[in-house]
Amino acid sequence: MNRLSVLTATMLMCATSWAQQALWGGASIISPEIHDNNTVTFRLKAPKAVRVQVTGDFLPSTPIETPRGIWEGPGIADLKENKDGIWEFTTTAPLAPELYGYSFIVDGLKIMDPSNVYMIRDVATVTNVFIIGGERADLYRVNDVPHGTVRRMWYNSPTLNMERRITVYTPAGYETSGKSYPVFYLLHGAGGDEEAWINLGRTSQILDNLIAQGKAEPMIVVMTNGNAWQEAAPGESSNGFTAPSMRPTDAKNAIEGGFELAFPDVVKFIEKNFRTKKGRANRAIAGLSMGSFHSANISRYYPDMFGYVGLFSGAASKNEKSNCPVYTDFEGKLKVQFDKKPLLYYIACGKTDFVYQGVSDYRKLLDDNGYKYEYFESEGGHIWRNWRIYLTEFAPKLFK
């Protein structure tokens, strides 16, 4: 064997060694195990633990009092230890189809399930996830259908004087069709970023499946970063691995109404760099919680920009103390918007959401003025389970 062959063989052996290293210590425990009847068993090997619990949104919720009201916190259940030091918990009833999140608590310390590599970050919290298939939850899965493309891109915002990051979904066939497409701008809530809807909201899976089923028009979906002081999601900007936060980390960049005022920068970038259909009939905007507030403000401040508006778990509200042009003359701007007759003004909220009363008050304002809108009410509160539902309900109504 010549020296080149020996070198090549050595490199291949090293590469194989490093590839196998990631498998060393791999878990042999199955967790979570989804049974045929949709009950689920969770397992954790912790022979020295005194108490092991599982917490997740598949359990009955626990009310949590916060400055913003009562939130629905994940429930908690105890695991039982068997003779091998493996702790187990099996749900007593089958779980309904849904995407669920969970984690373990070992002697008071919250940890991830080492047997489940699938995890999602929500603000500063990381949880393991699993899906119970069937019904609406099948829209959250990767199915054997044509798939769109997801891009993380940077654009320049002259208004905010910074480069900013967005996530863009283009439907299957975009690259080769030569066609132009309508655009749906989808906004996250407080503490979220341009990663929230694509990960927690399952946007690409939902759009792939709805489009393949003929229930939604092929469309471009733009997921922005609604924190005007940020370049991008934590860990994805020039600030490095900063801790996720729901509040501005740099007060000098926290411009009142900055995100709303700068939104045309996003639209101009998208329409310059993608094949898009122009005009309000081909643009939609929607968001959850804070993103709902942003969507209401943006669509009211720029009444000719969006024909379709979606407010998920949130509503517009007057800010009489503000001098920011986005917030002044609230009812005057609202009248102008509805005089132009939005093609769809959609509001959705959970029955136990802490913003329910605020949404009801806003609906009354619309009703008193004869402004037409569509309302969808679900069970539950201020949770991603609802926001995924609202996306599956709203997207098929667009661009018809």
Domains of the chain: 33-133 (2.60.40.10), 140-397 (3.40.50.1820)
The arithmetic mean of pLDDT across residues 232-239, rounded, is: 79
The arithmetic mean of pLDDT across residues 129-144, rounded, is: 97
What is residue 364's predicted lDDT score, i.e. its pLDDT?
Answer: 97
Choose between 56 and 64: higher pLDDT. Answer: 56
Q: Tell me, letter by letter, the H, E, C secondary structure of the chain.
A: CCHHHHHHHHHHHHHHHHHHHCCCCCCCCCCCEECCCCCEEEEEECCCCCCEEEEECCCCCEEEEECCEEEEECEEEECEECCCCEEEEECCCCCCCEEEEEEEEECCEEECCCCCCCEEEECCEEEEEEEECCHHHHHHCCCCCCCCEEEEEEEEECCCCEEEEEEEEECCCHHHHCCCECEEEEECCCCCCCCHHHHCCCHHHHHHHHHHCCCCCCCEEEECCCCCCCCCCCCCCCCCCCCCCCCCCCHHHCCCCHHHHCHHHHHHHHHHHCCECCCHHHEEEEEECHHHHHHHHHHHHCCCCCCEEEEECCCCCCCCCCCCCCCCCHHHHHHHHHHCCCCEEEEEEECCCCCHHHHHHHHHHHHHCCCCCEEEEECCCCCHHHHHHHHHHHHHHCCC
pLDDT of 72 above 80:
no
- Close Cβ partners of 251 (under 8 Å, ≥ 6 residues apart): 229
User: Structure pTM?
Assistant: 0.89
What is residue 306's predicted lDDT score, i.e. its pLDDT?
Answer: 98
pLDDT above 70 as % of the chain: 89
Check: CB of residue 183 under 8 Å from CB of residue 283: yes
7-17 pLDDT per residue, tens: 444 444 444 44
What is residue 234's predicted lDDT score, i.e. its pLDDT?
Answer: 79
Least reliable range by pLDDT among 76-85, 125-134, 224-233: 224-233
pLDDT of 56 above 60:
yes
159-202 pLDDT per residue, tens: 999 999 999 999 999 999 999 999 999 999 998 999 999 999 99
Choose between 154 and 256: higher pLDDT. Answer: 154
91-132 pLDDT per residue, tens: 999 999 999 999 999 999 999 999 999 999 888 789 999 999
What is residue 13's predicted lDDT score, i.e. its pLDDT?
Answer: 47
What is residue 24's predicted lDDT score, i.e. its pLDDT?
Answer: 52
What is residue 392's predicted lDDT score, i.e. its pLDDT?
Answer: 98
Tell me what the pLDDT averaged over the chain comes to.
90
The arithmetic mean of pLDDT across residues 196-221, rounded, is: 97
262-278 pLDDT per residue, tens: 999 999 999 999 999 99
What is residue 14's predicted lDDT score, i.e. its pLDDT?
Answer: 46
Check: CB of residue 33 under 8 Å from CB of residue 43: yes
Highest-pLDDT range among 29-43, 64-78, 251-265, 316-330: 29-43
pLDDT of 142 above 80:
yes
Highest-pLDDT range among 123-127, 235-239, 328-332: 328-332
Least reliable range by pLDDT among 7-16, 139-148, 340-349: 7-16
Backbone angles phi, psi at 185, to 5 degrees: -95, 120
- Close Cβ partners of 13 (under 8 Å, ≥ 6 residues apart): none
